[in-house]
A and B are shown apart, each in its own frame.
Chain A
Amino acid sequence: MATMSPAPVYPRPSYQRAVKLVRRNALAYKHYWIAFISGFFEPVFYLLAVGFGVGQYVGGVPYAGGTLEYASFLAPGMLAASTLNGAVFDGFFSPFFKLNWLKTYDGIITTPVNIPDIAIGEMMWALIRSTIYGAGFLIVMLAFGLVHSPWALLALPAVMVSGGALSAGAMILTGITKEISSLEKVMTLIVFPLFLFSGTFFPVSQYPDLLRPIVQATPLFHSSSLLRALTTGEVGTQTLWHVVYLVAMFVVASAIAIRLIRRRLVS
């Protein structure tokens, strides 16, 4: 019998149940497919405007002891950014509205699907969206001749690792935001700086010494560095560190996210 429970033992999350959230989202996006594909184009536009437009006037980017044509430098950065986009849309925006406005989860938790299942399911879906964006962007890169090494075959799994880490991070944001004004704050204070300053548009060597370690601590730095190593073929032991960082972030952030979402949904 359930008596006085100081630390209740929750049922273990089940992937079978979590997958139901993925199916739910797939069903919902049948009605919102424009919204689904539209997020993909933003990094592509940036690649065109900045990579090719501004890139013409950039002599070459110092990279791995040599120089790299600017578009080839920027493209993996934008590839990382496209996984960030997928993660933010479906790890943050969409769950934010379902949690705070639509009350979708309040209904779902009355079924055998439990709170951790929901958090895991949403992260899985965000990862899927990130991966779809990343895969699409890789095709764009191939079409523009911006892939320079067979290592790029590993870019797709790398995109998934990046998408997973960023989705889990986005889910933490879902767990700690309530007000509609938080959306703008998260975008301006977190997403936008990540997008601009993670070694995406220009190499970290351009930063003053003081700022460099800060940039090197951000997830998108590791994501863009990893993807750049793979698409240019400049793979080394450092590359492995990026993977370790992203996997560790995924594990830690998803554990925290599940806890935060539970706190928000338990009444």
Chain B
Amino acid sequence: MNAAKVVRRNVTVFWRAWRFSFFLSVLSPVMFLSAMGLGLGSMVSETDAFGGVDYVDFFATGMLAATCMQAGVFNATYPIMMKMMWQRNYEAMLASPLEVRDIFLGELASIGLMLAQVAVPFAGVMALFGVFDSPMAILAIPVAVLLGLACASVIMAFTATLQTDEAYTWLFRFVVTPLFLLSGTFFPIDELPLWGKVVAQATPLYHGVELVRQLAIYELEASALWHLGYLLVMLGIGTALGMRNLERRLVP
């Protein structure tokens, strides 16, 4: 499949920076979990609201999902815009037998690989912090990657429509950051006022976080299917929309 060639190009570039970036992707969760989970967590006196688990468990599972969401969104913004507009890599690729569809799917798959590279070390760090107690927890990794991909597909569809990078400032500061902090990562959304709760439940991060937690620290419930369905549908819509938008952009 031609999309594989796009993956291959990205892997080649990525490999060079890999070692250090691996170090960073281990270091970030270690720091975050130590500060919030251990430092702040040691002061959390009531754990009922967190389903009876330690705060570090609650926080770490939320962070795994949130980190993948952020990485997915980021990689669908500047890096894609750079190749689409500034370096014109896609123009060059289209001069070969590659189709727009191959480019889109190839980029999405590359983001998937990158997300795995974030999620696996993160989960490893979580294991060291003693977060997991069931083998089911390993499934939290693909779920976090799926969440990142679903976000990436929608944002790539958005990127394909942009002429400048100005919108990204808004996206990161007023969409991604509030989502990250307020969608149940740091504290249960039950605490939010009703409207906040409704908004939070509509976000992909909420569903990703819930699913990760059910797999890793809580009991699996029927609602897991609904969360999984949400993410899959989002990925499907994002991909369809993204291919359409990129086609319109590159082959006007």
Contact = CB atoms under 8 A, between A and B. Distances in A.
B173 A38 contact: yes
A184 B24 contact: yes
A249 B98 CA distance: 56
Contacts, number: 96
B182 A48 contact: yes
Contacts of A197: 31, 34-35, 39
Contacts of A196: 31-32, 34-36
Interface in B16-32: 17, 20-21, 24, 27-28, 31-32
A192 B29 CA distance: 11
Contacts of A57: 44-47, 49-50, 55, 187
Interface string A18-41: 000000000000000011001101
Nearest to B42: A206
Interface in A66-85: 70
A203 B218 CA distance: 30
Contacts of A217: none
Contacts of A58: 40, 43-45
Interface residues of A, number: 32
Contact of B24 (A45, A48, A61, A188): A188
Contacts of B31: 192-193, 196-197
B170 A34 contact: yes
Nearest to A198: B35
Contacts of A105: none
A206 to B, nearest CB: 5
B133 interface: no
Contacts of A188: 24, 27-28
A201 B40 contact: yes
B174 A38 contact: yes
B134 interface: no
A42 B191 contact: no
A59 B43 contact: yes
A206 B181 contact: no
A50 interface: yes
A39 B187 CA distance: 23
Contacts of B50: 57
A166 B12 CA distance: 38
Contact of B182 (A49, A181, A189, A201): A49
- 8 residue pairs, one from A and one from B, having the closest CB atoms: A49-B181, A53-B187, A196-B35, A38-B173, A202-B39, A59-B45, A49-B186, A57-B44
Interface of B: 17, 20-21, 24, 27-28, 31-32, 34-36, 39-40, 42-47, 49-50, 55, 166, 169-170, 172-174, 177-178, 181-182, 185-187, 191
Interface of A: 34-35, 38-39, 41-42, 45-46, 48-50, 53-54, 56-59, 61, 70, 181, 184-185, 188-189, 192-193, 196-197, 201-202, 206-207
